[in-house]
Amino acid sequence: MTPTQTPIIVVSSLTRTIVNGAHRVEILRGIDFTIPAGQFVAIMGPSGSGKSTLLGLLAGLDEATSGKVILDGTDITGMAEDELALVRGRKIGFVFQSYHLIPTLTAEENVLLPAELTGVKGDIAGRARELLERVGLSERRDHYPVQLSGGEQQRVALARAFMVHPPILMADEPTGNLDSANGRHILELLLDLNQREKTTLILVTHDPELAAHANRRITLRDGLILSDELQETTFGAQVVS
């Protein structure tokens, strides 16, 4: 981390415990890190290590048992559901493993949705078209998700994630459901958009090849940080095709 950069995410002593009847599962057992703006962080670890839970807590999708998450200067721990929704709408873009497009909306309508929900003014239709063009789907903007292939659906999801110029982009195994060619295409687009939009990118993956593109790699095991290392990357450069 370069010390001059201002932190956009600060996580301190974060824990998450699930109590299910007599069972008590400690998913996260005390996580601390700071992410400066513009960094590309890969969160790695085997399944069950707490990666997705951590991502969920960073986005305010779930409540921490203890500890703090500060997003762009705002402490989001203990915020009410609707306040969190506002924070997410303005600051975070999402890309999910299984796309999660709204099946009843067309590709373009799906891309427009975040802007409409957060009440962004201006030429949002133009922005949506521009993004769809950038992911190569301007011809298919009136198609419904069911009429698109998996790779195409994930490209729509990418366009949607960048719609409101979020300072942070969170991606949960974005290529996990795709074959390698499509996966590579999505990664290319993700990195390209990320560079243009100057977004902080947090990528959850267990694919080391994907993680290799990040500036920083945080590895989790059993709810704790096993390693947190900066790395020389191909970030900004072309992904080897």
Residues that bind another protein (CB under 8 A): 18-21, 52-53, 55-56, 59, 61-62, 81-82, 85-90, 94, 96, 100-106, 109, 113-114, 116-119, 144, 160, 164, 172
What is the C-alpha to C-alpha distance for residues 97 and 157, in angstroms, rounded to an integer? 10
* Strand ranges (E), 45-98: 66-71, 74-75, 92-95
With respect to another protein, which residue has the nearer C-beta, 82 or 229? 82
CB of 177: closest distance to another protein in angstroms?
Answer: 13
With respect to another protein, which residue has the nearer C-beta, 89 or 150?
89
Q: Which is nearer to another protein, 53 or 219 (CB)?
A: 53
Least separation in angstroms between CB 125 and another protein:
12
Q: Which CB atom, from 99 or from 215, has the smaller least distance to another protein?
A: 99
Query: Least separation, in Å, of the C-beta of 78 and another protein?
Result: 16
Compute the least distance from the CB of residue 26 to another protein, in Å: 14
Three-class secondary structure of residue 29 per DSSP: strand
Using CB atoms within 10 Å of the CB of residue 150, give its burial: 0 to 12 exposed, 13 to 18 middle, 19+ buried: middle
Burial 106-137 (b: 16+ CB within 10 A, else e): bbbbbbbbbbeeeebeeebeebbbebbebbeb
Bridge partners of residue 93, in order along the sequence: 169
